[in-house]
Chain A
């Protein structure tokens, strides 16, 4: 079985337009959550968001996409992060297009981020917009495939909030099996009226910035962003910088409820155990957990309960969603990048907004910045509606 190395990273989120800016924000404990300026929704007045702080027009220009029609916010964010990841891994255009380069992406809202345009086109109101081919979930993937002339295997995964963790997993399996030498994996999610209203209808949006793992947490904060990793097999790595290795993964279904996780954390426990087992590790070897930690009453309790059932002593853990907000399909890969930064720089970032850690478990998230650590193995969790639970183990090489 081939090993899977990370040789490129690209990310855009509310805390930065590239990997370096994201790390700078993490180092200075600076959140990206605040009042949204660009999303059009009445809920902008009521809830904070983790919005990428630029207009879509500005982002189009910055990515050299100025004259392109039909680019949704999801498409734009995806393209920017994809570009950074490929450049970071020094992939040539021929390598990106090659038959043995796979592309596994993820989104939940896709082009439905253009909620009002979709309403008009779908109901035949007025002349057709430029977004007719852009609404579908997989549109951003197909556009990138076309832009880069990619001939390899491609897919788009939608397992709600665990989508990009599954994209990473799928790309890793393709490399391990020898079906691909390289895989570009990740996901993209534009903030949208559609999603905001959905989560509001579920009554799980927090009026204040989310407070993951706090006793008094009141819900999640939606964010947006995109991120991609370049994964390569051993023969392709050469003398490139290797940020880490995808050493384990687990996927399970909680099979409990369409939109909440069981108190017994059935799916969570199964996915974490499988991830650690496939990495060939024991739980004591995990140095840090980047938790799903949405800030909802349900998720954070179940997740911490699940973790407590696997780890005799709960390792250093936190949710970085207090920085970025919950970026849904992009969350798994954004958090994988934060995990890889912790491995690369031997540092753990301060958790935000957790003054009163959940009382039932004797374990507070990381409270302050720590460095000069030897972080060998990180567990990263992503759980979603439909009972989808996924965990990754990322390791130092």
Chain B
């Protein structure tokens, strides 16, 4: 399938692609908050006020695409936590008011499918609609879902994406289990920190994808795959099979997007894979030092990779190693906590 157009909200100035002119902004907070656009021109204020941040970001990135492409037939979103802040607020009220009378708004928005549901409602898109919530490979599953629809000839154009928001409660819980760094760290030094944990991020990246290539296609999404709890050998074998299935040698990959997040416990996978499978000439890009780590961050990586394929020069902060080969075949390899590993294969078209 082919990326036709995309929008991204993230902790970087990505909404108007300013990132590529201005370079990456440094973050020093323990949570990298998304820089949101002015939604007022898109959504009536009373509606906007009721929206959760993830619905807002989904609408901010998705609605302009829906408005431009009237023939979008379905919507598939990956979002592990959905409107988690609304869920937690509702949950807090249950406990604090001892199950008193509550308003249902937060509850209705609490399910992850409220992003795809709201977009369907606003765009009157009555076709296929699905939401994958499988933690660190939720976006990969959304891609797979779209590929299956296109392969079966069930759609020609879809809206897909990944959305995640930070909530304080989830930040607290994930911090308790050691997900985040104890010490303060600047985003520019995250990847070299050599300590346990990472930083928390959030964002939304939505894409219009077509079954057929056109002169306006930005990049081809060739295939997607995933594996959970692999050994070092199994992940190499998996990537090897994945490329082979798509008639590619590892040497055909010129650019790698690797999910380095500065966590000394799990970053070794990326070094291992790039050393074991790919030569010294391959370009390597990082992205979590720009936006932090979140369950559907591979949607941000795909947004970056598509820009690279489209001829953009990526900010210097993303470059781990600059190869000299022209951009043709790009592999995104991202894992969450070392448990769920996702692979997305793109190429120029």
Contacts and interface: CB of A to CB of B under 8 A. Distances in A.
B212 interface: no
A156 B134 contact: yes
B36 to A, nearest CB: 21
A379 to B, nearest CB: 19
B131 A159 contact: yes
Interface string A96-127: 00000000000010001001101101111000
B284 to A, nearest CB: 26
Interface string B45-85: 00000000000000000000000000000010000111000
A202 B117 contact: no
B117 A253 contact: yes
Interface of B: 75, 80-82, 87-88, 90-92, 94-95, 98-99, 101-104, 107-114, 116-118, 120-121, 123-135, 137-138, 141, 144-145, 148, 151-152, 168-170, 172-174, 176-177, 225-230, 234, 339-340
B91 A112 contact: yes
A296 to B, nearest CB: 14
A253 B126 CA distance: 4
A137 interface: yes
A254 interface: yes
Given A115-B94, A122-B173, A252 B127 contact: yes
Contacts of A387: 117, 120-121, 129
A128 interface: yes
A142 B339 contact: yes
Contact of A197 (B107, B128, B151, B339): B107
B232 to A, nearest CB: 14
A138 B92 CA distance: 21
B99 A149 contact: no
A155 B132 contact: yes
B81 A136 contact: yes
B172 A121 contact: yes
Given A159-B129, A197-B102, A253-B125, A386 B111 contact: yes
A384 interface: yes
Contact of A115 (B91, B138, B229): B91
A176 B152 contact: yes
A257 B113 contact: no
A141 interface: yes
Interface stretch (A9-17, A87-95, A166-174): A166-174
Contacts of B174: 132
B123 to A, nearest CB: 8
A194 B94 contact: yes
B99 A41 contact: yes
A145 B228 contact: yes
Contacts of B82: 137, 158
Given A157-B130, A177-B152, A386-B114, A151 B227 contact: yes
Nearest to B88: A122
Given A176-B152, A251-B130, A385-B113, 9 more contacts: A41-B99, A112-B87, A116-B95, A124-B176, A128-B177, A158-B82, A197-B102, A253-B128, A259-B108
A146 B229 contact: yes
Interface in A248-266: 251-259, 266
Interface in A144-196: 145-146, 149-151, 153-160, 166, 170, 173-174, 176-177, 179, 193-194
Nearest to A202: B104
12 contacts: A43-B99, A123-B169, A133-B177, A137-B133, A170-B145, A253-B127, A253-B128, A255-B121, A255-B124, A255-B125, A385-B113, A385-B117
A206 interface: no
A266 B127 CA distance: 11
Interface size grouping (class) on chain A: 35 or more
A386 B113 contact: yes
Nearest to A131: B173
Contacts of A139: 135
B317 to A, nearest CB: 30
A201 interface: yes
Contacts of B75: 253
A154 B341 CA distance: 11
B108 A258 contact: yes
Contact of A174 (B102, B103, B108, B148): B148
Contacts of A253: 75, 116-117, 120-121, 125-129
Interface centre among A179, A253, A256, A388 (most CB of B within 10 A): A253
Contacts of B116: 159, 253, 386
Contacts of A176: 152
Nearest to A254: B126
A121 B127 contact: no
A138 B129 contact: no
